[in-house]
Amino acid sequence: MIPSPYLLYLGHSRDPLGVKTSRGVAEFRREDCLGEFRHDDCPLTLGLPRLGMEEAAAGGARTLILGIAGAGGQVGTDLIDDAATALKAGLNVASGLHERLRDQPRLAELANARGLSLFDVRDPPAGLTVGKGYPRPGRRLLTVGTDCSVGKMYATLALTRGLRERGVAADFRATGQTGILIAGEGIAVDAVVADFISGAIERLAPARDDDGWDLIEGQGSLFHPSFAGVSLGLLHGAQPEALVLCHEPGRAHMRGIPGRPLPDLVDCLERNLEAARLNSPEVRAVGICLNTSAMDPETAPRFCAVVEAQMELPCTDPVRFGADSVIDHLLCFEPSASSTIASR
């Protein structure tokens, strides 16, 4: 377990999507967050007290969470310098980047000398096997998206919370760095060797017989040239009974690829259902979750209504308006045959 309270790192970031990990931890583990660290050129804030490393340590913080993300997940010089400052101040350091903290000699030496820990949450577990695709008991929902960073994790967490509030057994299954830091466990699927992605998800959401739900956090998009492979592995390994499509209206292009438009919602949903049917022939779509954070309070609900009519599925922004309409639709169906059949 990563010791709390946390100091959340924003560094020099200027892209709101680039700090989604720190923002997610601040949103869902607020009680464990003491403050945020950012340089003077960073215009972003999480609404937490701005603290220096020594100030945070003196105030009781135990771990600096490097909650930033960029293409390739690389550890830059500035980030290493800041992590070193945190270690010198007496803070553990946690990261979800692809480059491991422990592989940075300067940080490894500082941590060892001070009896502190470096947490690389993107380490996949040992002993993963390839997926088999055999039917297994249990009810599973997977969130999918039109693009990266459109709200799949937020939607999955909101649906999990909503089901639990109704007395339904439900577990959030984290597949990315932010989700793992929030849940305290999971598998960072984009760090898994490609052959083992579907098997990793079969392990993350194994057979269950309590009529409860595994809510599996989606990653990437089938339509994103950089990350479609991870998305496909999730669709196969999750063997989902239900899909929820996530989308952020108004994006000019796929993240990181100027000039490449986002897919049509109808086409995107159908392609995801088609891929899921390989291992889950009876899979169905149960709702649309939008990230309307850039819309004004009057426009957002009207847009949800338009999409709901277009898609003939419940549509909501689960952060602004809750997830009840999607949960209502989810629970109105009886379990599919594939969710009750015994594993072979």
Percentage of residues in the chain with pLDDT exceeding 70? 96
Higher pLDDT, 122 or 328: 328
How does residue 293 score in pLDDT terms, banded at 50, 70 and 90? very high
What are the backbone dihedrals phi and psi of residue 160, each rounded to the nearest 5 degrees, phi first?
Answer: -60, -50
**75 has a pLDDT exceeding 80:** no
Of the candidates 31, 8, 30, the one whose C-alpha atom is nearest the C-alpha of residue 19 is 8
Average pLDDT over residues 212-224: 97
**10 has a pLDDT exceeding 80:** yes
Give tens-digit pLDDT for 101-157.
Answer: 999 999 999 999 999 999 999 888 999 999 999 999 999 999 999 999 999 999 999
User: What per-residue confidence (pLDDT) applies to 184?
Assistant: 86
User: What per-residue confidence (pLDDT) applies to 321?
Assistant: 97
Q: Mapped to the 3 state alphabet, what secondary structure does the chain carry?
A: CCCCCEEEEEECCCCHHHHHHHHHHHHHCHHHEEEEEECCCCCCCCCCCECCHHHHHHCCCCEEEECCCCHHHCCCHHHHHHHHHHHHHCCEEEECCCCCHHHCHHHHHHHHHHCCCEEECCCCCCCCCCCCCCCCCCEEEEEEECCCCCCHHHHHHHHHHHHHHCCCCEEEECCCHHHHHHHCCCCCHHHCCHHHHHHHHHHHCCCCCCCCEEEECCCCCCCCCCCHHHHHHHHHHHCCCEEEEEECCCCCCCCCCCCCCCCCHHHHHHHHHHHHCCCCCCCEEEEEEECCCCCCCCHHHHHHHHHHHHHCCCEECCCCCCCHHHHHHHHCCCCCHHHHCCCC
User: What per-residue confidence (pLDDT) applies to 335?
Assistant: 79
Domains of the chain in sequence order: 6-120 (3.40.50.720), 139-340 (3.40.50.300)
Average pLDDT over residues 282-310: 97
How does residue 76 score in pLDDT terms, banded at 50, 70 and 90? confident
pTM above 0.85, yes or no: yes
Give tens-digit pLDDT for 11-36.
Answer: 999 988 889 899 999 999 999 999 99
Give tens-digit pLDDT for 153-205.
Answer: 999 999 999 999 999 999 999 999 999 999 989 999 999 999 999 999 999 99
User: What per-residue confidence (pLDDT) applies to 72?
Assistant: 45
User: What per-residue confidence (pLDDT) applies to 340?
Assistant: 56
Give tens-digit pLDDT for 192-217.
Answer: 999 999 999 999 999 999 999 999 99
**77 has a pLDDT exceeding 90:** no
Q: Quote the mean pLDDT of the chain.
A: 94
User: What per-residue confidence (pLDDT) applies to 180?
Assistant: 92
How does residue 342 score in pLDDT terms, banded at 50, 70 and 90? very low
User: What per-residue confidence (pLDDT) applies to 18?
Assistant: 86
Higher pLDDT, 333 or 27: 27
Give tens-digit pLDDT for 237-248.
Answer: 999 999 999 999
User: What per-residue confidence (pLDDT) applies to 69?
Assistant: 74
